[in-house]
Amino acid sequence: MKRFNYGFFHLVFFLISLLLLGSGLSMDPFSYEQSLKSECVMEPPQTTSNTEGEGFEELKINEKRGNIKVVERVDLQKGNTYSISASVKLRNDTQRKVGMTLRWKNGKNVFGGEVMAKKACWSLLKGGITADFSGPIHIFFESNDLAAAEIHVQNVRMQRFNKTQWRLQQDQLIEKIRKNKVRFQLSFHNKSTVKGSVIYIEQIKPSFLLGCAMNYRILESQTYKEWFVSRFRLTSFTNEMKWYTTEVVRGQENYTLADSMMNLAEENNVMVKGHTVLWDDQRWQPSWVKRIRNPEDLKNVTLNRINSVMKRYKGRLIAWDVMNENVHFSYFEYMLGGNASAIVYSMASKLEPDIPLFLNEFNTVEYDNERVGSPVNVKKRMEEIVSYPGNKNIKGGIGAQAHFAPKQPNLAYMRSALDTLGSLGFPVWLTEVDMAKCPNQVKYMEEILREAYSHPAVKGIIIYAGPEVSGFNKLTLADKDFNNTEAGDLIDKLLQEWQQEPVEISIQNHEHNDEEGRIVGFSPEISLSHGHYKVTVTNPSMKNLSTSFNLEITKEMGHLQEVQLVIDA
């Protein structure tokens, strides 16, 4: 028991954690524990259905062609989400990607998921489809190398979820991973009765933040600024920190815009995620950098860029995108050598050792037919970076940009993609979330944001959005007069829902005496979102009593957190 002296009162702060047991990989693909460990097991896992879904099926392989396995026909119904899993391994290759493709008679394909399969053990491939059509499909499991890998597939299983069931599952996961049960015990040193005491709980800062990008137009519009800071506590700048903005002419650095936006954020308690130190796409280098042909010259200006921007904002950011889009592109690797990204992360870690250093990619969770920026490839790239000599202990992070197409998102694929990205143990963020306008944009955006929030690997979300004056023309949250659009109403609703409302609870009548003779009363058990809180204790019969203290609720404290308060009164 820890004792803290708060002056005129005495507080005993006692935490009891009832921990949930279990570790490793959940072998029930429909339980959606979203285990964050990748394991390869000697025997194919036996799976069971999730009680929240329906239509649990064991699917049979009815065609085998060495490196291709075809599942019997399955009929899909529009609007349902189908979670599909299989155990896969290789026969004659050490390691290779195995993917799941859903095909129907008109020739259209949807990529349902993939896993890095191995020879000596079974890997669990998870994925599926949110159907935007009704009709029959076949499910293909195949290697990405048609000549080399013969694959084994067992235990193919599918479960159907309607929209209500999927949403219920999301809500249950949110309750489990974003909140804790808390109960207060209260007593007074003078052994007075605690009956009638009131505990007021106010969240100061949530652990999970839904943020919004900003651009230079916020410096030109006081109304935009007021609109932004009244809502958001997390941001990133769209272009203002990028190299092509801060050094248009070689040797002439200009951080005016970034500095002004940084000052605005700090003055209004808005945290900033840096974007981006470097960009691995040649098209988005400063024009003068594109003209450099000498690798040594490029190396020197690159080193100057890293030192310049990171030292300027050292200690002021909560994270950095270090090498943007270095799975899709490889400009610096081509010019400076294959380890260029790893070396840049090594330098960045020395300059900012205490914040996450992100790899930031597109099409990773939002596009199910992606092959280059797939979750397996993004994970592999991050593994290469941290395995470089000296990089073992860097604080990594994975950013999924999440620029969704204007259509029904594949939530089953998104969930399995987040599973894969989270399996390294680094924080996963959705960093640039948007969707082009379409009739169901708000509905789809809510599905996407709730799916991310309900996944334990996801530690933050930044949307690429704003009022009309900001120029964000895909996800516009307010019109020219700053009246909310439907998308703006959605974001306001989620901001309110995901931030804990103030709670006032009374000490109940069931009291007992502790070993020192003090009368102890108990509050009801309540559910609180993770974050920092101010807790105030009052009692109507003690007019001079109003005692406050700070409390942090974290997932590490277990399923039930019991707080014991012993107060001088």
Q: How far apart are CA 260 and CA 373, in angstroms?
A: 34
The residue annotated as part of the active site, out of 247, 432, 447, 562, is 432
Mean of the pLDDT values across residues 7-16? 34
102, 110 in Cβ contact below 8 A?
A: yes
The residue annotated as part of the active site, out of 325, 361, 447, 451, is 325
Residue 318 burial by Cβ neighbours in a 10 Å radius (0-12, 13-18, 19+):
middle
pLDDT at residue 93, rounded to an integer: 67
pLDDT at residue 212, rounded to an integer: 99
Mean of the pLDDT values across residues 112-138? 91
430, 458 in Cβ contact below 8 A?
A: yes
For residue range 213-246, list pLDDT tens digits in order. Answer: 999 999 999 999 999 999 999 999 999 999 999 9
pLDDT at residue 21, rounded to an integer: 26
Q: At what angle do helices 375-387 and 340-351 cross, to 10 degrees?
A: 70
pLDDT at residue 241, rounded to an integer: 99
pLDDT at residue 509, rounded to an integer: 60
What is the architecture of the domain spanning 2-17+177-197+507-567? Sandwich (2.60)
pLDDT at residue 447, rounded to an integer: 98
Q: How far apart are CA 94 and CA 14, in angstroms?
A: 51
- Report residue 42's pLDDT band, with 50, 70 and 90 as the boundaries: confident
pLDDT at residue 33, rounded to an integer: 46
pLDDT at residue 556, rounded to an integer: 84
Mean of the pLDDT values across residues 542-551? 86
Per the model's pLDDT, the better-predicted residue between 8 and 101 turns out to be: 101
Per-domain residue ranges for the chain?
Answer: 2-17+177-197+507-567, 54-163, 206-498
- Report residue 55's pLDDT band, with 50, 70 and 90 as the boundaries: low
Residue 11 above 50 pLDDT?
no
**How many angstroms separate the first and last alpha carbons of the chain?**
21
DSSP bridge partners of 455: none
CA distances for 470 relative to 95, 220, 224, 307, 474, angstroms: 47, 10, 8, 30, 11
Catalytic (active site) residue 296: no
pLDDT at residue 133, rounded to an integer: 87
Q: How far apart are CA 528 and CA 210, in angstroms?
A: 17
CA distances for 411 relative to 76, 113, 207, 407, angstroms: 15, 11, 24, 12
Per the model's pLDDT, the better-predicted residue between 404 and 154 turns out to be: 404
CA distances for 18 relative to 24, 127, 539, 562, angstroms: 19, 32, 30, 9
Q: How far apart are CA 209 and CA 547, in angstroms?
A: 29
Residue 202 above 70 pLDDT?
yes
- Report residue 23's pLDDT band, with 50, 70 and 90 as the boundaries: very low
CA distances for 240 relative to 257, 260, 323, angstroms: 6, 10, 16
Torsions phi, psi for 195 (to 5 deg): -55, 135
For residue range 59-118, list pLDDT tens digits in order. Answer: 766 656 656 777 778 899 999 999 999 999 887 767 888 999 998 877 788 899 999 988
| Lowest mean per-residue pLDDT among 12-21, 99-108, 161-170, 555-564 | 12-21
pLDDT at residue 527, rounded to an integer: 94
- Report residue 544's pLDDT band, with 50, 70 and 90 as the boundaries: confident
pLDDT at residue 36, rounded to an integer: 40
- Report residue 560's pLDDT band, with 50, 70 and 90 as the boundaries: confident
Q: How far apart are CA 57 and CA 98, in angstroms?
A: 22
Neighbours of 513 (CB within 10 A): 11
What does pLDDT average to over the chain? 88
For residue range 287-313, list pLDDT tens digits in order. Answer: 999 999 999 999 999 999 999 999 999
Catalytic (active site) residue 202: no
For residue range 469-483, list pLDDT tens digits in order. Answer: 999 999 999 999 999
Torsions phi, psi for 492 (to 5 deg): -60, -40
- Which helix (H) or strand (E) segment holds residue 214: the answer is none
CA distances for 44 relative to 32, 417, 452, angstroms: 18, 21, 29
For residue range 371-396, list pLDDT tens digits in order. Answer: 899 999 999 999 999 999 999 999 99
For residue range 317-329, list pLDDT tens digits in order. Answer: 999 999 999 999 9
> In sequence order, which residues have a C-beta less than 8 Å from that of residue 235 and are 6 or more positions away?
211, 212, 213, 214, 228, 265, 270, 271, 272, 273, 462
Mean of the pLDDT values across residues 186-192? 86
The top-level CATH class assigned to 54-163 is mainly beta
- Report residue 119's pLDDT band, with 50, 70 and 90 as the boundaries: confident
pLDDT at residue 151, rounded to an integer: 84
For residue range 488-532, list pLDDT tens digits in order. Answer: 999 999 999 999 999 999 987 666 777 777 888 889 999 999 999
Neighbours of 494 (CB within 10 A): 18
Q: Does domain 206-498 have CATH number 3.20.20.80?
A: yes
Per the model's pLDDT, the better-predicted residue between 42 and 467 turns out to be: 467
**Has this prediction a pTM greater than 0.85?**
yes
> In sequence order, which residues have a C-beta less than 8 Å from that of residue 454 and are 6 or more positions away?
169, 170, 171, 173, 174, 177
CA distances for 349 relative to 165, 314, 386, 392, 459, angstroms: 43, 11, 11, 11, 20
What does DSSP assign to residue 21?
P
